[in-house]
């Protein structure tokens, strides 16, 4: 029976790619380096801000990653709440989960200082806990964050689904010994997801509702 769902943020709940791309490009512009397209940034995200900025820098300029990250963080802090489109069907899914007393949380590699205000602005306080990148937890695909959230939610791992859009989320769920629902509307392509052998793959949030309905009806 499904009693909880842990969500990734970027590419799963909210389409944040435009804001991320704009802020990293601001850092590239500062150094007069080439900017990247949104499609390119879809391949850069998933492993935290440090990796995102590092991947955007020219090969012979990687040594500037820490300074470029600071420029990104300043720009992103000022602009990240400007463009936050929620994926179609997500609000309906979250409403269904709340109406059925299924606990929800967020586990993201986005910096915690960015993740919490973003979730609060878009969704309010509906999540049991929002956990972003912090010093005392290893970032995904480590299971540290998931284990912490399961304890906060009071849900067993076999009663909880992990929902995400990337290969990092698949690996995170495996490391946490949880079932992963891979979503195709996010940043990773279907081919990338398939190459990582997803356990469950869905094309819309309504399919997650259907999955939970079937499982909980059968279990009940």
27-77 pLDDT, tens per residue? 999 999 999 999 999 999 989 899 999 999 999 999 999 999 999 999 999
Q: What is the pLDDT of residue 19?
A: 96
- Three-class secondary structure of residue 35 per DSSP: coil
Neighbouring C-beta atoms of residue 62, cutoff 10 Å: 12
Share above pLDDT 70 across residues of the chain, in percent, rounded to a whole number:
100
CB 119 within 8 A of CB 9: yes
Which of 2, 1, 39 shows the shortest CA–CA distance to 20? 39
Q: What is the pLDDT of residue 131?
A: 98
Give residues with Cβ within 8 angstroms of 110, minimum separation 6.
9, 10, 16, 48, 49, 118, 132, 133
Q: How far is CA 126 from CA 3, 11, 38, 41, 120, in A?
A: 15, 19, 30, 29, 8
Third-level CATH fold of 17-79: DNA polymerase; domain 1 (1.10.150)
pLDDT band at 218 (very low <50, low <70, confident <90, very high): confident
Q: What is the mean pLDDT of the chain?
A: 97
pLDDT tens digits along 122-165: 999 999 999 999 999 999 999 999 999 999 999 999 999 999 99
Q: For the chain, where are the alpha helices, taking DSSP H only? A: 17-30, 38-44, 49-56, 65-79, 90-99, 112-123, 144-153, 167-175, 190-195, 205-219
Q: DSSP state, 46?
A: S
Q: What is the pLDDT of residue 46?
A: 87
The yes-or-no verdict on residue 181 having pLDDT over 80 is yes
pLDDT band at 220 (very low <50, low <70, confident <90, very high): low
pTM: 0.94
Q: How far is CA 82 from CA 65, 102, 121, 122, 157, in A?
A: 25, 30, 11, 11, 35
Sign, Cα dihedral of 157, 158, 164, 169: positive
Which of 165, 121, 130 shows the shortest CA–CA distance to 149? 130
pLDDT tens digits along 7-27: 999 999 999 999 999 999 999
Q: Domains of the chain: which residue ranges?
A: 4-15+85-219, 17-79
The yes-or-no verdict on residue 114 having pLDDT over 90 is yes
Q: Which CATH number fits domain 4-15+85-219: 3.30.465.10, 3.40.50.1000, 3.30.1490.20, 3.40.50.300?
A: 3.40.50.1000
């Amino acid at each position: 029976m499904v009693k909880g769902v842990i969500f990734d943020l970027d590419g799963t709940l909210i389409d944040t790619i435009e804001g991320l791309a704009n802020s990293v490009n601001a850092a590239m512009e500062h150094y007069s380096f080439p900017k990247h397209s949104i499609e390119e940034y879809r391949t850069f995200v998933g492993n935290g801000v440090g990796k995102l900025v590092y991947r955007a820098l020219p090969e012979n300029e990687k040594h500037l990653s820490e300074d470029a990250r600071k420029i990104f963080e300043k720009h992103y802090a000022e602009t990240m709440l400007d463009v936050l489109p929620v994926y179609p069907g997500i609000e309906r899914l979250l409403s269904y989960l709340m109406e059925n007393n299924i606990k929800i949380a967020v586990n993201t590699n986005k910096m915690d200082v960015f993740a919490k205000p973003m979730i609060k602005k878009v969704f309010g306080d509906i999540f049991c806990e929002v956990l972003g990148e912090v010093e005392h937890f290893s970032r995904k695909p480590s299971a540290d964050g998931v284990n912490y959230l399961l304890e906060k939610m009071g849900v067993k791992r076999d009663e909880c689904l992990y929902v995400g859009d990337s290969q990092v989320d698949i690996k995170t769920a495996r490391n946490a010994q949880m079932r992963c629902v891979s979503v195709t509307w996010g940043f990773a392509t279907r081919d990338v997801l398939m190459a990582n052998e997803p356990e469950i793959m869905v094309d819309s949030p309504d399919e997650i509702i259907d999955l939970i309905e079937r499982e909980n009806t059968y279990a009940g």
